[in-house]
Amino acid sequence: MYSLSKFYHFLIKSQPWGVLGLWVCYNGGMQEIEKRLLELEGEFLKVYERLGVAEKVARVSELETEVAEPEIWKDVERATAANQELARLNDEAQPWELLRTQIHDLKELMALADEDLKEEIAGQITGMEVDFAELKKALGFKGKYDSGDAILRITSGAGGTEAMDWAEMLERMYLRFCEKKGFKVACLERVTGEEAGIKTAVYEVSGPNAYGWLKSEHGVHRLVRLSPFNANNLRQTSFALVEVLPRIAADTDVVIDEKDLRVDVYRSGGHGGQGVNTTDSAVRITHLPTGTVVAIQNERSQIQNREKAMEILRGKLVQMQLEQHTDTIGELRAGESAGWGQQIRNYVLQPYKLVKDTRTGYESKEPDKVLDGELEGFIEAYLEG
C-alpha cells in the first residue's frame, strides 16, 4: 500500500496536471475536514445557547467570588448551599467549555495546517463529534428538576430472602450505572436482610442531570429466575420498588405546613456504626394529608435524621405532584401515588434471557450487561418517548 507521500509523488510525476492536481486533491480533502469542523461548531453553538451554558459560567464566576469571602462562613447554611450550587454548575458547564475551547483551538490549527496534520485533525474532529453527541443528550432533560440531584430508594417486595436479594442486585446495578456516569453517591440508609440482600437502601446521587438520567427508573422491577435459595431450584418471581425523587434541599422550594406533619422518634436498629443504637435518634415523619411516610435512622443525631427525612419527603411530594399533575402540595390526593402499582420493567433470566421495559417496549437480550449498569438504552428510549 502506498503512503500518502508516495501517492502525492505519483500524482506529480504521472499526471498531466502535476502540482496543480496535487493541490486540488490535497485541498479538497482539507476543505471537507474544514466543512466538518464548521458544521460541528454551528451545531455546538446552537445547543450551547439553548442550554444556557454561558449563563451558568457567569454564575460560576459569581459563586467563586462569593465563597472566597471569609464572611460567608458566618452563615454556614448559606455557605454550604453556595458551595453545592458551585459544584453542580461546574460539573454541568466544564465539559461544554472544554469542547468549546477544543473547537476554537482546532480552527486556529487548521489555518496553519500542512499535509502531515490532515489525518490527525480529522481524528480530533471525530473525537469531538462523539463528545458532542454525548453532551447533546442533555437536551432531553427538560423537566424542572432534571438538572439537579436525585434521591434513589430501593425497597424489597414480598417474598423474603428472594426479594431482598433482588433488591441488592438492583442496588448494585444502579451503583455501577452511577459509577459509569461519574456521579457521586452517598448512602443515607441501608438495612440488610437477615440471610441475604437488603430490605431497603437510600442513596443521594449528585452529578449533571442526575435526576434526569434516573427518573425513568421509578417504579416496580420484576425478576424471574431459578431460585438460588430454593433446594428444588424452582423458578421464582421477585419484586422490588425503585423510587427516584428529586433532591430538594431548600424548604423554600417546597413549602410544607408543619401542622400537616407528625414526627415520631425512636431508637435506631440494625447496623449503623458505633453509638447508633444508644439514643432515640431515628426519625419517622408522616405527611398527614397524603399518608406519606419517611423514616431515616442512619445519621448519628436526631437533627440530621430529621433534615434528611424532610429532604426525602419534599422529593416524594414533588414526585406525587408530577404523577397526579397538580400545581400545589395542597391538591395532592392520598393513595394515588404510582408506588407498587406501576410495574415498569421485567428481567427474565429463565427460561430465556430478556429485559423488557413495559412502557417503551425497549428490550435487551443481555440481562447480565443490564444488571452490570448498562441502562442507557432503556433511559434514552424513555426520554425519546
Q: Report the alpha-carbon distance of residue 213 to residue 195 in Å, rounded.
A: 32
Mean pLDDT of 328-340: 64
| Residue 41 confidence (pLDDT) above 50 | yes
Q: pLDDT tier at 335 (50, 70, 90 boundaries)?
A: low
Q: What is the pLDDT of residue 12?
A: 38
Overall residue count recorded for the chain in this entry:
385
Q: What is the dihedral of CA 120, 123, 124, 127, to 10 degrees?
A: -160
pLDDT tens-digit map of 270-305: 544 444 445 667 889 999 888 888 888 776 677 888
Distances 216 to 72, 146, 319, 323, 345 between C-alpha atoms, Å: 38, 11, 12, 13, 11
Give the number of other CB atoms < 10 A from CB of residue 174.
Answer: 22
Closest residue by Cα to residue 82 from 94, 66, 58, 61? 66
pLDDT tens-digit map of 204-257: 999 989 999 999 999 999 999 998 887 777 788 999 999 999 988 766 667 788
For the stretch 377-382, contacts whose Cβ atoms lie closer than 8 Å and that sit 24 or more positions apart, written own/partner, are: 378/216, 378/345, 379/213, 379/214, 379/216, 379/217, 380/137, 380/140, 381/357, 382/216, 382/357
**Topology classification of domain 147-385:** Alpha-Beta Plaits (3.30.70)
**Domain spans, the chain:** 4-140, 147-385
Q: pLDDT tier at 2 (50, 70, 90 boundaries)?
A: very low
Distances 367 to 50, 116, 169 between C-alpha atoms, Å: 36, 46, 12
Output the pTM of the full model.
Answer: 0.73
Q: What is the pLDDT of residue 18?
A: 41
Tell me how many degrees the CA angle 303-308-311 measures, rounded to the nearest 5. 125
- Average model confidence (pLDDT) across the chain: 83
For 4-140, give the CATH class.
Answer: mainly alpha
Q: Report the alpha-carbon distance of residue 247 to residue 224 in Å, rounded.
A: 32
| Residue 363 confidence (pLDDT) above 90 | yes
Give the number of other CB atoms < 10 A from CB of residue 212.
Answer: 22
Closest residue by Cα to residue 211 from 96, 343, 319? 319
| Residue 320 confidence (pLDDT) above 80 | yes
| Residue 359 confidence (pLDDT) above 60 | yes
pLDDT tens-digit map of 145-176: 898 899 999 999 987 899 999 999 999 999 99
Q: pLDDT tier at 268 (50, 70, 90 boundaries)?
A: low
| Residue 19 confidence (pLDDT) above 60 | no
Mean pLDDT of 56-73: 92
| Eight-class DSSP state of 40 | H
Q: What is the pLDDT of residue 299?
A: 61
pLDDT tens-digit map of 69-90: 988 888 887 888 888 889 888 8
Mean pLDDT of 13-26: 40
AA letter at 155:
T
Phi, psi of 235 (to 5 degrees): -70, 140
| Residue 10 confidence (pLDDT) above 80 | no
